[in-house]
Amino acid sequence: MNSVLVTGASRGIGRYVATHFAEQGHDVAITAIDEVELRKTAEELADLSESGRTERFLADSSEASEVRRVIEAVNDAFDGIDILVNNAGRVGPVGEFPTNDLRDWKRTVRTNLFGMVHYTYYILPSMKNQGYGRIVNILGGGARSSRPTLSGYGTSKAATLRFTTSVGEELEGTNVRMNGVGPGVVATDLIDEIRYGERLSDEYAERLTEKVEEGETTDP
């Protein structure tokens, strides 16, 4: 069995991914910034797995020192990390760029991009040393197309795509792999935050709502 670390695992895609690994009997460590939901998810995982262990860590992925602490703790608990799922993310300010709170905009970039950067940076040495590792980055819709009134989100997600392809190519010839996944429109709390944003452009809100109402979303 493998040891797995899933970031942003207190809800949505992250929770589903962690649940899947726990059901398979893997050791699973989860992180998030919502302590209540994180604890709830950890309890659910522990109930699901008969053989695998569960660890939880309250951590902000945008803070390098917190990420380093998590990596060290999980490596100690599981004697290494085989799989990392970089899922932590946020939407950020909604509205035309000049109306955005710049601090909130930067926070979105720090969480979506630098959260992924931090976890990857601190986990790669141990994966290379053990001769095996798989890193899966959840990229999001903004990775390949524009997101008007969600410029912070779109910018950060586009950057995660380039980060994934660049580092992925660096890892060629090793037994460590990095890949990205674009999950499409998934019915999570994050989608609701986007749909009901007060300053979401009418055109984008209409497109997103149509996808939801016509069943073009997937469940986590």
Q: Annotated active-site positions, please?
A: 153
Give the containing element (helix H, strand E) for 29.
strand 27-32
C-alpha dihedral (4, 16, 19, 35), degrees to nearest 10: 80
Q: Do 51 and 58 touch, CB atoms closer than 8 A?
A: no
Amino acid at 45: L
d(CA 136, CA 88): 12
Beta bridge partners of 175: none
- Return the HEC string of 168-195: HHHCCCCCEEEEEECCCCECCHHHHHHH
Q: Which residue has the tokens 């980060």?
A: 163
d(CA 8, CA 32): 5
d(CA 216, CA 77): 40
d(CA 190, CA 120): 23
Give the containing element (helix H, strand E) for 40.
helix 35-48
For the record, the structure tokens of 160 come out as: 């995660």
